[in-house]
Structure formats: structure tokens, C-alpha cells
Chains A and B, each alone.
Chain A
Amino acid sequence: DTGVSQNPRHKITKRGQNVTFRCDPISEHNRLYWYRQTLGQGPEFLTYFQNEAQLEKSRLLSDRFSAERPKGSFSTLEIQRTEQGDSAMYLCASSPRLGQSSSGNTIYFGEGSWLTVV
């Protein structure tokens, strides 16, 4: 198992452009999460999927943000019309279904995708 994979790892974009990040969770993990982290802060929750269903969204997820997980495997996070305030690290995490392990619902993070909007 190679862990949670995210790409691209780094993206520099001009303000107003659209960007898309991809996350490949640990195989057989049915839960997938997106977080955002700015310098000096802890990760902030954005959204959560169980299989292909998006079950929870933070108010941080403005209309310019959209996340999908079409087949319940990989997920994409798209940011439209990027703004300088979108500059952050975008983290993806996954976890197994409840009861699948004794992990107490531990989640496993990827390395993150850094976005810089100039």
C-alpha cells in the first residue's frame, strides 16, 4: 500500500485561473477528506466523501470550490477563478469504513498539494 497520493505537489497559477488537484486514497478506504492549511495554522476541514457521496462540506468551501469523487475511488478538488487568498496547502486524507479496523477511525494524510496564486 503506497499511502494517500496527491498531485501535483506544487502549483503556481495566476489569479483568475482554474486549478485542479487530484487525490488517490489508500485502496479500499471508502472515506476521503479534503483539508486546507495556511502557514502557521492547523489543517482546516473542507469536505468529506463516503464512497462517491459528498456528505459534509465546510462553510470554507465557497462556490468557487468543487470536489468530486465520481467512482468512489480518486477525488478531485477544483478551484475556479483563483484568488490570492486561496494560496495554501491542500491536504487529502482517507480512512477505512467504521468497524473495518480497530483504528478508532484514524485518518491517513497525503503529502499535500501546495498552491501559490500570484
Chain B
Amino acid sequence: DAKTTQPNSMESNEEEPVHLPCNHSTISGTDYIHWYRQLPSQGPEYVIHGLTSNVNNRMASLAIAEDRKSSTLILHRATLRDAAVYYCILRDVGYGQNFVFGPGTRLSVLP
């Protein structure tokens, strides 16, 4: 699996937007970009995924660079419940049956 690079930690104020970056310069054409988050003492939770186009869902938006070498997870209005570790993962849709997790970004949300 191609490698991703994320900042170790970020802080945000409550009700402000948060932009979580991820670099994946070795991404291949068939790699999907997945984001998961993990709240304390829980299993990872799916957030969003995309291939080439920007994606929106009820939880977040995913902005993918035109060259696909980086992406940004956008939380439009951070809440205290968004404090978690966020993982950016590349997954080839047809190969490699496991997700390879890095250390992720620990997001703190300040009231």
C-alpha cells in the first residue's frame, strides 16, 4: 500500500471549520483515498472516501488535489464530539485486502 503522511496533531476551536491534510505522493491510479476516525476507546469509524472528485457527505467533505498527491478532510463546523484520531488511508480497489493505518492526526477541539 502507498504511504500517507499526516500531521501528528491539530487543534481547532468549536464551531470552526477544520482542514486535515494528507500527503500521498506515491498514490497509484487505482488507489481510493479513505478517511477513518477513531474516538477514544472505540473502533475506527468510516468518514468518507473518494477517487478523483471532491466528495461530500453528512459527516465531512473530501477535497482531492488535481494531481491526487494530496487530499484534505474538511469538517465544516467542529464539535467537541469530533475530537478523535483521523486516519488517511490509500486502498487499491482491486488489490490488497487490508487497510494499512499510520499514526493518524489527533484532533483536539477546544470549547
Contact residues of A with B, CB < 8 Å? 4, 31, 33, 35, 40-45, 48, 50, 55-56, 58, 91, 93, 98, 103-112
Contacts and interface: CB of A to CB of B under 8 A. Distances in A.
Contacts of A50: 97
A56 B97 contact: yes
B interface, by DSSP: helix, strand, loop or mixed?
Answer: loop
A77 B48 CA distance: 29
Contacts of A48: 97-98
- How big is the B interface, by class? 20 to 34
A10 B93 CA distance: 34
Nearest to A106: B46
Interface in B4-55: 32, 34, 36, 41-46, 49-51
A35 B42 CA distance: 13
Contacts of A107: 46, 99
A105 B91 contact: yes
A107 B34 CA distance: 10
